[in-house]
Amino acid sequence: MTMTLDAQARKVTQAQLYINGEWVAPKNNQSFPTVDPNTGETIADIPRGDASDIDRAVAAAKAVAVEWQFTDAIARAALLRQLAALVTEHADELARLEALDSGHYLSKAQDLMGAIPLWLDYFAGLADKVGGRTIEVPGNKLSFTLLEPLGVTGHIIPWNYPLLILVRSCAPALALGNTCVVKPAEDTSLSALKFAELVHQAGFPPGVFNVVTGLGPEAGAALAAHPDVAGITFTGSTETGKTVAKLAADHVAQVNLELGGKSPTIVFPDADLDDAVEGAVQGFCSHAGQVCVAGTRLFVHADIKDAFLGKLVERLQTAQVGDGFDDSTQMGPLVSKKQYERVRNYIEVGKSEATLFYGGGKPAGTPEGGYFVEPTVFTDVTSDARISREEIFGPVASVITWTDENDLIAACNDSIYGLFAVIFTQNITKALNTARRLQVGGVMINEWFGELPMAPHGGYKQSGTGREEGLEAVHGYTQVKHVTVNLDGSLRSGADWAGAPL
Ligand code: NDP
C-alpha cells in the first residue's frame, strides 16, 4: 500500500501502520487528523495504533531478531546503503511531506532529507567494524568480549526533526543487528510512514523494521512498557522522558534519553559581533526555536550589549517568516496549535517578568490559521525568571548581561539542563577554558550547531543519558558478552581462584 501525496492540494491518502513487512489498519480502526501548521488545515488521517498494535509489531520484531543478529554485518550494511540510495531518490517527496507535516520550510526540509543518507552510510560503515576486545587473564586461556545486539529496540520520536531523529537512532540499531519498532510523534507521522515504504523497497526482511503511529500515552507508553523491548531510545521533553524511563525500568530495558535543553550562547567582548549575532539568531530561530539545542539564553558581555542588540535588531528585521512553501521563507510556523498556545503563553509570562525588546506578536502577512510567532527577544531577564529557566521550544530568547567570568559560568550552569552551549570569542584559550567548565554534553565555538552522524550528541543532567551518533552510539544498541576459553584442555590447570575445587 503506497501513501500518496497531492502536493497541490496539500493532502495525503492511505496512511497505514507498517508491521511485519505489511501495511495494516490498527486493530481498533481508529484514526486522528494531522494538520498543516502553515494553515491549520487537515492533511491526512493517521492510524491510531494502540497497545494491541504495539504487541503485534514487537512480536514481529522478536520473531526475526535472532535471524537478523546472525545476518552477516556486510549484508546488513548493504541493505542500509540501498536504503540510503532510495532516500536520495525520494528526497523531494520526503521533503514535501516533512515540510507539510512539521512546518520546516521546504528548502530546509530538502537539505535535511539530502543529509539523511549520511547517517545511513555512516552506520552502515560501522556494521562490520565494531567488535569486542581481547583480555589478558592469568593462565593459558583466551579471553575476549563480543558486542551483541540488544534484540528488539523501541524508538519514540518527537515532532521537531521527525525523520532525522528516527534515522539517527534506527540506523545504528539496525546496523548492529537489532530489530526496530518505531512510534512517531502524533503531529508528524508522515515521513516515518514514507520511510517505511523505502525500507520495504530496499528489501529488509519482514519484521526487522516496524512503524506504529498513535498517541504517546497509548502506543508510546505501550512500547516503553513492553517486556520484549530490550532497549528504548526516546527523544523529547524531559517530563515524558522520565515517564518512559520509569516504564522501561519495570522490565530493566536499556534506555537512551535525549531530552530538553536551555542552552547558553556566550558572547565575549572580543567576539566578532556579526558572527555572534548570526549564531545567536540561528540558535533561537532555527525551526522557529523548536530545537533541543536552541540557544535561548544569550549571555552578552555588558561592554558590547548595546552594539550586540543593535545588530540583533537589524538581523531580525530581515528574517522572513511565512508559509514554508514560499521560496523566500526562512522561518516557518510552530508545529501545532498546542505548541503555538504554549509559546504565546510564555511570551505573556515574559512580559510580566522582563522587558519585551523585540517581536512578541504574529508576523505580518503570515497565513490565517497558521501557527506563526515573531522572533522574540526579552532583556532585563533575571536568573529566576521562568523564561530563562524553562524550555519554551519557540523563537524566544532571553538576553542576560554579564561582567565576571566566574559569575557567567555559574549562571550558565544554573539549570536542570545540560545539553549544549555556544561560545563566541577570538581568544582560543578563553574559549577552551569556558568549554571545559560548562556542564553540557556539547559545545560549539564561533558557530551554532550543525548536527553530524560522526559526532556524539547528548546531554548532562536532566538533558538525558546515553549518546546518539558517533562511535559512542554503539553503546546504546549493544550489550557485552565475555567469553573465556581454557587452552590447556585440563580443568585443573588454572592457577586462579575459579579453578579451585568445590
Ligand atoms: P513529548 O516529549 O511529550 O513527545 C515526544 C514523543 O513522546 C512523542 O512521540 C509523544 O507522542 C511521545 N509520548 C508522549 N507521551 C508519552 C508517554 N506517556 N509514553 C511514551 N511516549 C509518550 O513532547 P510534546 O510533543 O508534548 O512537546 C512538549 C515539549 O517537549 C516541547 O514544548 C519541548 O519543550 C519538548 N520537546 C523537546 C524535544 C527535544 O528534541 N528535546 C522534542 C519535542 C519536544 P505524541 O506525539 O503522541 O504525544
**pLDDT per position as a tens digit, 66-93:** 999 999 999 999 999 999 999 999 999 9
Q: Which three cell numbers stand for residue 328?
A: 523566500
Band of residue 472 on the pLDDT scale cut at 50, 70, 90: very high
Residue 1 scores a pLDDT above 80: no
Name the DSSP class of 219.
I
pLDDT for the residue numbered 499: 59
Band of residue 340 on the pLDDT scale cut at 50, 70, 90: very high
pLDDT for the residue numbered 488: 87
Backbone angles phi, psi at 70, to 5 degrees: -95, 5
pLDDT for the residue numbered 217: 98
Residue 419 scores a pLDDT above 70: yes
CB 305 within 8 A of CB 276: no
CB 179 within 8 A of CB 65: yes
CA distance 294 to 463: 13
pLDDT for the residue numbered 313: 98
How would you classify the pairing of strands 231-235 and 209-211?
A: unpaired
CA distance 262 to 283: 11
Q: For the chain, what is the mean pLDDT?
A: 96
CA distance 56 to 154: 13
pLDDT for the residue numbered 500: 60
| Greatest Cα pair distance in the chain | 84
pLDDT 10s digits, 420-459 = 999 999 999 999 999 999 999 999 999 997 889 999 999 9
Mean pLDDT of 417-421: 98
Band of residue 501 on the pLDDT scale cut at 50, 70, 90: low
Q: Which of 240, 345, 386 to mutate to test the pocket of ligand 1 (most atoms within 8 A of CB)?
A: 240
Phi/psi class of residue 464: alpha, beta or left (left: φ > 0; alpha: ψ in -120 to 50)? left
258 catalytically annotated: yes
Q: How many CB atoms lie within 10 A of CB 454?
A: 12
Q: Which is the catalytic residue, given 258, 374, 391, 469?
A: 258
Q: Any idea which of 13-17, 157-161, 286-290 has the lowest mean pLDDT?
A: 13-17
Q: Which is the catalytic residue, given 170, 285, 292, 412?
A: 292
The SS3 of residue 258 is strand
Number of H helices, E strands in the chain: 15, 24
Band of residue 464 on the pLDDT scale cut at 50, 70, 90: very high
Percent of the chain with pLDDT over 90: 93
* Angle subtended at Cα 270 by Cα 319 and Cα 285, rounded to the nearest 5 degrees: 20
Quickly list H helices, 250-367. Answer: 273-285, 305-317, 337-353
Which residue has a Cα nearest atom 38 of ligand 1?
236
Residue 101, class by beta-carbon neighbours within 10 Å (0-12 exposed, 13-18 middle, 19+ buried)? buried
Q: Which residues form ligand 1's pocket by a CB distance below 6 Å? A: 156-160, 183, 185-187, 215-217, 220-221, 224, 235-237, 240, 243-244, 259-260, 292, 342, 391, 393
Distance 191 CA to ligand 1 centre (A): 17
**Nearest CA-CA partner of 335 in 113, 114, 162:** 162
**β partners of residue 468:** 457
Band of residue 55 on the pLDDT scale cut at 50, 70, 90: very high
Closest atom, ligand 1, to C-alpha of 187:
46
pTM of the predicted structure, to 2 decimals: 0.97
Residue 7 scores a pLDDT above 90: no
Residue 495 scores a pLDDT above 60: no
Which residue has a Cα nearest atom 35 of ligand 1?
237
Distance 118 CA to ligand 1 centre (A): 26
The SS3 of residue 179 is strand
pLDDT for the residue numbered 14: 80
Distance 231 CA to ligand 1 centre (A): 18
CB 373 within 8 A of CB 362: yes
Length of the chain: 502
pLDDT 10s digits, 158-205 = 999 999 999 999 999 999 999 999 999 999 999 999 999 999 999 999
Mean pLDDT of 94-105: 97
Kind and range of the H or E run holding 396:
strand 396-402
pLDDT for the residue numbered 449: 77
CB 211 within 8 A of CB 196: yes
292 catalytically annotated: yes
Q: Any idea which of 167-176, 200-209, 479-488, 491-500 has the lowest mean pLDDT?
A: 491-500
Distance of CA 48 to the CA centre of its chain: 23
Distance 113 CA to ligand 1 centre (A): 22
Rounded (10°) CA dihedral 122, 481, 233, 202:
50
Distance of CA 124 to the CA centre of its chain: 19
Distance 204 CA to ligand 1 centre (A): 29
User: What SS3 string covers 34-55?
Assistant: EEECCCCEEEEEEECECHHHHH
Residue 493 scores a pLDDT above 60: no
Which residue has a Cα nearest atom 12 of ligand 1?
216
DSSP structure string for 98-165: HHHHH---HHHHHHHHHHHHHHHHHHHHHTTT----EE--SSSEEEEEEEEE-SEEEEE--SSSHHHH
pLDDT 10s digits, 291-336 = 999 999 999 999 999 999 999 999 999 999 999 999 999 999 999 9
Rounded (10°) CA dihedral 165, 167, 168, 173:
130
Residue 218 scores a pLDDT above 90: yes
